[in-house]
Structure 1
Amino acid sequence: MAMAQDRGKGWWDSYGDVMGRPALDLAELESQSVSVRSHELLVVPGLLQTADYARAICEAADGQDEAVDRYVEFRLARQQILQRGTPATCHAVIHEAALHMRAGDPRIMRQQLRRLIEVARLPNVTVQIFPFEAGAYSAISRAFVIFGRATPDLDTVRLERPIDSAVLRDKDQADKYKRIFAKLTELALPPVDPDIRPESHEARDSLSLIQHVMHAL
């Protein structure tokens, strides 16, 4: 699919027939960002989802929707920011609950968890798991995404809510969520490093937890 913009419009505009304005705005925000820092509680971030996992999520939201194929295609198209000419950096802190929250069958979940390990091989992607034993801080801070711009004063925060989302453009608010994210990274397990052999793990880390959940499916 061509990702180039045409006459000032983005590739996302071609999905206007099935996607609402908030989803199109999200794709535009991502395309303009040099970094994406996300905190998710119950699902794997969209930028890191496999096609089958994305489909299972979409079908759970509305199993009767005939546009599921387009929804999935749109979600995967968003991921091109991670491998474009100058890729955005992505740092995801994912609550352990998301690893256990079943989307589709065990095969789909194993593929998705394997995807988290594989995508962490990209030099611009960092994946951390926030374990249950780290406490309630993750739940209190809720799901959000920080979109970093070339000019930090223009950084934007998107708050994820059950039926909608809110976008914060105020610098003080953005700085508040940057501090929250920094705290999340401190409390979360060390990042996934696919190059570390399992027998070399001296302490529990994000990779060992993902592998444990994946093998238990």
Structure 2
Amino acid sequence: MVSPFIRRRRLADELRTLREEREMTADELAKRIHYSRMKVSRLENAHGRPDVADVITILNTLEVNESKWTEVVRLAHEATRKGWWDAYGNAMGARHRLYADIESGAATIREYNLSAIPGILQTPELTSSLIEITKREGRLDFNPAKMVEARLRRQQEILRPGGPKYEFIIDEGVVRRRTVPRDVMAAQLQHIVTVMMAEPQLTTRVLPINADMEGALLPKATFALYTFPDPIDPPMAIVDTITTDLIHTERREVRRYIQRYEDLTRGALSPEDSLALLTEAAELLIDEVGPPNDE
């Protein structure tokens, strides 16, 4: 499935370009079609699912030729499609829903995680533990049970036949630092090892604390890089901050994140050594917790 979000971004660029080619301001266009300036702005900035009828009205007003008209209307239809995540509404959280949408049409995903296990590989127990910690910051903007359920669905979609090639680098501090119960983290690390050994399209690398990163600029936040099957859809970088996700599609900006990721790759352990480190870390935690209580 082509990501509706990516199609909305491309549709927005097309509409804005077509208007500017005719040397028409957004205000002028809005007046001609008797729409509010805000409505035109939302379409040109990919805010929300578009109305195909509105897009057709704009194209007709701009007197777009038949081939371009057909192309843009097709984009508009693709931008309105719903995915499995729409059934959850706001219950799974807006940020989580955005990632599910983008992943649905990705060809490759590369992620560097500075502070947590990537969501796509979290066990339900780890996700639940992190949700309990998040509650301390105030009211949740998602339903915890639905969040866990949706995250499992995201994992299934990533691992589906024909799914994207997914590579992630996690900082060793994520593995060693204790923020959740030891048994939960031990099971989580074992889960990653099991999945990585079973799924050839997934690659994991650990960036060790003592990595030689001379000459490299280290990222200041967690980020993910996406490419898409259609060459017209540009690569994308999404930066994960505490309160929001920053989306970059401008090629020079994305290139900087690609460079940082490539630098991290050179400093990271090989996939084989990374799995050995994760296995050793899980075993240490199991030793600390002790054998399970069978009573």
- The answer to whether the superposition gives a TM-score over 0.5 is yes
Matched, 1:111 2:187: yes
Among 105, 109, 118, the alignment partner of 1:36 is: 109
Q: Deviations 1:139-198 (Å, cap 9, x if unpaired)?
A: 544210011111355211110111211011112222221121111111001114xxxxxx
Q: Report % sequence identity.
A: 27
Q: Deviations 1:48-94 (Å, cap 9, x if unpaired)?
A: 11111111112211167582111111112111232223111110000
State the match for 2:261 in structure 1.
181
Give the TM-score, by structure 2 length.
0.62
Judged with a 3 Å threshold, the aligned counterparts in structure 2 of structure 1 residues 82 and 134 are, in CA distance, closer, same or farther, namely same
Give the Cα–Cα distance (whole angstroms) in 2 for the partners of residues 166 and 144 of structure 1.
9
Matched, 1:100 2:176: yes
Q: Which has the higher helix share?
A: 2
Judged with a 3 Å threshold, the aligned counterparts in structure 2 of structure 1 residues 130 and 116 are, in CA distance, closer, same or farther, namely same
State the match for 1:155 in structure 2.
235
Q: Deviations 1:110-144 (Å, cap 9, x if unpaired)?
A: 11101111121211010000010116768544210
Matched, 1:165 2:233: no
Judged with a 3 Å threshold, the aligned counterparts in structure 2 of structure 1 residues 20 and 50 are, in CA distance, closer, same or farther, namely closer
Does the 8 A contact of 1:34 with 1:148 survive in 2? yes
Matched, 1:123 2:162: no
Matched, 1:58 2:127: no
Give the Cα–Cα distance (whole angstroms) in 2 for the partners of residues 181 and 151 of structure 1.
23
- Structure 1 unaligned spans of 5+: 1-6, 193-204
Among 134, 137, 146, the alignment partner of 2:211 is: 134
Among 196, 205, 222, the alignment partner of 1:143 is: 222
Give the Cα–Cα distance (whole angstroms) in 2 for the partners of residues 162 and 138 of structure 1.
21
Shifted more, 169-178 versus 57-66: the winner is 57-66
- Structure 2 unaligned spans of 5+: 1-79, 286-295
Aligned CA RMSD, in angstroms, stands at: 2.3
Give the Cα–Cα distance (whole angstroms) in 2 for the partners of residues 139 and 107 of structure 1.
31
Give the Cα–Cα distance (whole angstroms) in 1 for the partners of residues 212 and 115 of structure 2.
15
Does the 8 A contact of 2:93 with 2:143 survive in 1? no
Judged with a 3 Å threshold, the aligned counterparts in structure 2 of structure 1 residues 188 and 20 are, in CA distance, closer, same or farther, namely same
Amino acid across the alignment from 2:204: V
Matched, 1:70 2:146: yes
SS of match in other structure, 1:93: strand
Structure with more contact order per residue of length (Cα contacts < 8 Å, sep ≥ 6)? 1
- Please identify the structure whose Cα radius of gyration is greater: 2
Among 12, 19, 42, the alignment partner of 2:85 is: 12
Give the Cα–Cα distance (whole angstroms) in 1 for the partners of residues 217 and 195 of structure 2.
23
Does the 8 A contact of 1:120 with 1:126 survive in 2? yes
State the match for 2:44 in structure 1.
none
Give the TM-score, by structure 1 length.
0.83
Size of the aligned set, in residue pairs, is 200
Does the 8 A contact of 1:34 with 1:149 survive in 2? yes
Shifted more, 104-113 versus 132-141: the winner is 132-141
SS of match in other structure, 2:271: coil
State the match for 2:279 in structure 1.
211
Does the 8 A contact of 1:36 with 1:89 survive in 2? yes
Shifted more, 98-107 versus 120-129: the winner is 98-107
